[in-house]
Structure 1
Amino acid sequence: MLPSRCLRCGAVSREPLCAACVDYIVGYEPLWLDPALLPGPSLLDLLGPRETAVLAWDLSRAEWRASSREPTVGDAVRLVSLLRLDADARPAMSAGDAAVLHAFLGRAKRGLLTDPDSRPALAALYRYLSSQEWMPPHLASEYELRADSVEPRPLPAIEPIVTVVEPRTPAEPEAPPEDVPREETAPEEPPPPQDDVPAVPEAPEAEPTPFPEPGPPVPEPIPEPEPDIPPEPLPEPEPPLPEPEPEPEEAPPPEVAEPRADAAALGAMRDALEAERLRLESWVHERTSKVEAKERALETRESVLSEKVQAVEEKEKAVTARLVALEKDEARRAVLRFLGTAPGMTEDEADVIATAFPDMRSLEAADVKALTQCKGVSETLARAIRYELVPGEVEGEARAIELREEAQAFMEEGDYRAALKCYDRLLRERPSDQALLFDKAELLVLLDKDEDALQCYTRVLDVDRRNRQAWFERANLLFGMSRHADALDSLREGLKIDPSKSGDIILRAEQLRRDGRANDAAILLQAILDVDPANARAVLVLGDTLLELGDVDAAEGLFTRALGKDPQNPRILFRKGQLLNRKGRWGAAIQFYNRAIALQWDLADAWLAKADVLLLHGRLAEALGAYDKVVSFDAGSVAALAGRAQCLAAMDRADEARDALDRAERIAPDDAAVVRVREILAAEAPKPPEVEPEEAGAEPEADEPGSLADAMAELEEAIEAEPAEPSVRRRAKEAALPPDFKSFVEAVEPEKEDVHVLVQLAELALEGGDGQMALVRYEEAIERDAKSPDAWAGKGTALQFLERYDEALEAYDRALALRPDHEAARKWREACVRRLRREAGG
């Protein structure tokens, strides 16, 4: 039976509405609970439809379409008045009306009703909701409280409360006289000052003659009327009275005595200032001396306190040490006290056990096997001690030991199923024993029950997620089940816990690679790099594995990323050179070999690879030097000796080639390189001509092709015979070479490749932050090919890196002149121009 779903949200529910939707509707859209709700639009839509005319492009016909908009607060207020919603109202309401009123309630809950005219309508709606029988009681009471808070109802019960109070009023005659004296005291205080004129007429009006009682309490209310009397600040206008002082204006007659009076006043002022200065100086000196004395006293007190604190700390440390020693002795005493109760215990055995287990906790954790390791403790005594400690566990331990021995005996006999039953019984008693789970998993693997073994490792990981052995064993098992994704996850977790195991995994990957399982080796190495991307050994092995699998692009990308993180790794540089050589870019490969050799001079693999490339492309002297280097590093290198023999044979040095080949044959006569060189030397060995008598005087044919050495000799003779002009010498070279050798030279010509290699080396130098070296490489590339836009653009980038912006701008212009659509040159030129403008503006 398919489960039903909620009609509103689509959740699985046996009811038409799920619980969440019911709560939402009850809380936010309560009108949907009305069973008498009618379908149809709102009453407002019928009274004033909101339609818009839509005209066709030719204005021949029009369509009226209703424009949808959200109901406003005014619409809700109007609808409440039209439906006359209030308590106990029974209007006919439609679904459209409910939507308008729900929007009105939502705005009220969010506090968005700022119009005061909407509050009566909201209160009426609340009263309507609280009076409906289909409304839940708790919501009805809530809406009633909201209605009272929005618009409180008139309270007709106030009048009877007043009437009830009336009979009590005659019983309290003292209330009115208490009010009257407060009025009397207010006018009685102003008469004594009699300065304020307006306070005088108020006094006779407030004095009630028929009440003589307030006379005695006159002094009590004196402080009370002070804050209530407003006329007290009236005396403020008195300050302007001294303005009309004519006395200073009558002083002008003694004008003759002004200079003398001024001099006397200045002298008096000067004397007063001097006296004040002396007084201040003496006060400052006195205060300074007091402050210095206080500082010295505080410093002395601080030093004394620090000494006392240090002494107290030393005493506390001594007390703590004594307490610790006492606690240790007490724990040992407890152990000895317990061992004294064990039957058959001697003093020496108790002393040995107390030394091995100095407290009761360690003694309780020790089993029979651990106790028997102590000197002089027999198995019987150990069992007696365990029985005194935990009487109920002795039998269980003995039973566990017996089951283990029984399982081991079954495994030695080859009965793995019986041994599995023993482990199952052990795990029922100790379900969280990790050693038992590991043993059971190994047994299940022997029985080809890999899934059950996985469950055992999972139980171990549930107990201890950082158990690296469980992760690695689980990964091994998953690899054997060809579940590589899960195995990689387990392997990553294990490596995160113990990264030192990556070396063992790399060795296993190399073994898989040698066994022809390159895919499995790549998976293992990728897991190592996911945890430790900077592992250079894993990068090298993974790159070699990818090369074996034929994925040259992936290997090149891997080596490039590794060089970006560690550009000074000679092994990775050597691998990158091998990749470039496989792609036919032997010039770039030699550059990478040279960089690797510069970083590690005795890297024999780089020397050997470089020699093989040079030999292949006819650079015999350089190749011979490289082979000699390899032989100097490793005299037993068969590949170097064979290559050296081949190089010497190509240089027509047959005797030396034969000696090198003999050395290689003594080391490995069946090596593929030795066999190949042997065949080459055998093919080039001179054969005795079989000359018949009648053909003895015949001359050799003129069109017989010469050897490589003959062609080089002819080339040298042609160069010496011609003048030293470069173009003439080049034409002489081309004319002197035979057709086959000319095509070989054209194929080996490295000019175009060298430009590309130099640009690439410059880019690597720039990535490594060496702008000066990058500039040198770009200039060398421009010398080789002055029309290379990449070289000019790269030179501009290097100059911009060195903050030589004017020269960089010129280089970018040259690159764009050679190739107007050069993206890099245009982008970096714009950046350079912006920088120059900022500098000019600043």
Structure 2
Amino acid sequence: MLPSRCARCGAVSRDFLCGPCLDFLVADRPLWLNPGLLPGPSLLDLTAANEVAIVGADLSEIEWHRPAREPSSTKAVRLVRLLRLDSDESAVVSVGDAEVLHTFLRDARRSSPSKLDERTALAALCRYLQSREWMPPHLASQYGLRAKVIEPPRAVEPKPEVAPREPPEALPPIEPSLLEVSMEPVVPEVPSEPALDELEDLDLPEEDVPLPSAQPVPPNPVPRPEPPLPLPQPEPIPGPVPEPEPEPGPGPEDAFVDPSQRAELEETRRALEKERADAEAFVRSRTQDLLSKEELLFARERAIESKEEAVEAHARAATERLAELEKDSARREVLRFLGAIPGMSASQADVIATAFPDIASLTAADEKALTQCKGVTDALARAIRLELAPGELEDERRSSRLREEAQAFVEEGDYDAALECYDRLLRARPEETSVWFDRAELLVLLDRPEEALQCYTRILDVDRGNRQASYERANLLFGLGRLSVAVDALREALRLDPSKSRDVVQKAEQLRRDGHPNEAVPLFRAILEIAPDDPRAILGLGDTYIDLGDADAAEAQFTRALGKDPQNAPILFRKGELLERKGRWGAAIQYYNRAIALRWNYPEPWLVKGEILLNHDRPTEALECFEKVASFEPQRIEAWAGAARAHAAMGQRDEAEEALAKGARLGADHPAVRAAREAIAQMAGTAPTVSEPLEPITDLPSLAKAFEAIEEELDSPVSSVPADFQSFVESIEPEKEDTHVLLQLAELAIEGGDPRMGLLRYEQAIERDPRSADAWTGKGVALQQLERFRDALEAYDRALALKPDHELARKWRETCARHVQSEADG
């Protein structure tokens, strides 16, 4: 499936717009979220002229100039007023209007506007965006807050101290372009609430009305803190009032009292109102036209869909009728054919026509299939086959007869005669795969494997996916000793039929036992590709690596298998054997203990552990291992021979001879029996005294207690550490062990009653992974068993700091804290 892409930038995205484009749309183009946004230019383009004519000094020559481009803020202020965004009415916004307003918002985001009209327009635009229902709530709140911040304070006009007169009504602001003579009328924007104080920006010609030298009235009067004192004149009421009598003296308002100028302004205002009404009517009409066209398109789409559904339904009905007619015609043809068969009744013909509805299926049916129909006898089936294919009936009878003869010869043991029958059958019907299989089996019985191999090759040439032929060919190659070709064939058979993995594992193990590890390795790998968790393949591949001398690869294989299944006793035993070969017999014993804990009646780890302990002068514990094997597997010669050697090492001659006699009865020439006999023969007349440990060791994994007992026997404080103990310590150093292996070894030591060894393992795990909460918790348990409660509390606190929800650390800490509190109270 091809990945979807963003409609704007083309980036891979499951949505219509990717994340960056969506953020850009929300942040910089909010009006694009309006579903009612109309296509078209801005309203300013419809009301403004493209060119302005300027009259020069000489009226006979007219020069045309493009007007200077207005600032974006000026356009936005005019557009806000034209669209009446500052009112509660719904505005119709086009794409061009949206671009102007987006530019205004972007410029305002860079630098806040300083002019009053720009700030007012920006606040109105933000309030408009806040009040729209298509605006997301979080953006609406942001625009509302921005409107409150940038909205200019509304000044309260104070009552004038001296009001000689007031104009009858406020005049709208005049655009500078209105004062110039133009060929085309320019329609400037008129604000909704004009004021006289905005007229100071007008550039009036000096020859029409001379401006006084007095200071102009400020555009935004600042309200005074206290109201002015009333004047003796009558106070003017708000709203239009009659014009008072002019007072003598020039004033700042006298510049705008010219009646002709006022009439011109009124005419301009009416023209602007008319242009705005026309623009609104045009937009409304265009909107209505678009809506009507959209509804018309929807109606046509629905009509087309309904017609398509009707056409599809009609086509399906016609197809079904044709199928029924064709089926009925084929059935009628079968009934017509069966009616011509002598002895055929109507019920029999109906049953056969139901089972074989056309001539093709009836022709493919043999006599046995026809006799399965109710009421069809062998004679009737033979008559039907004779009418359908007279020559094929004879071929079928001949093939059946040859098969029966071949089977009879095989039962009598005459394989040559049976092979001749199959050869005759293949000459008649060489496409029969079953005949090739039977011929190959006969050739194998006749000890002609090369010819049998040719039979399977012939089958694979016709059908490359034949699983049985591929596997049988691989077996033949394996038996012929062509190992390289046999391995490839077995891998191909395993690919075609993964259920053959158990049989292929046996072939790979046989290759390893026969001294062909290089051929066994790819076969084991092929099995692990199909079944990664097959324990026999894992063990076989590890043993093959050991046979090749690659102990590191074997250890890596066993470690990876233990990571997937740490409860596999045979793999634990193999890992222990590898460690023993490296001289790390102490760590090997730990793995043997784990294997024994998983399967207590697993004899191999018991025997190897007993051999290790016996070789390192630990006959008492070794004897327990051999006796344990003899208890659940009394026919094991190694167990009795090992027990005899252990008794001999302890100086117990009678017990050693008794165990040797039991082993000799099972196998007198066994190497283990001969070794035990030599050990007993080396015993002197008086049995040497064997130093026993100070306290008996009942727990087999508890090796640290035995070492403490050995150290206590050394009375001289200046004597060095025993060589045996030093060898053990060096052997159990975890050079390349993982953290989880160290944790498991520590748990085994704790369960075996050896907290000192467990503490040592937990500290090694902490050195490898200081952030392991399980290691700190185990260290606390070991310290608590050694009655170092305050150190245990610190370990628990460290574990809880790394993992606050560690349930085991919390429970053990509560127990330790109660013990510390009881000691403090006592």
TM-score where L is the length of structure 1: 0.46
Higher relative contact order (CA 8 A, sep 6+): 2
TM-score where L is the length of structure 2: 0.47
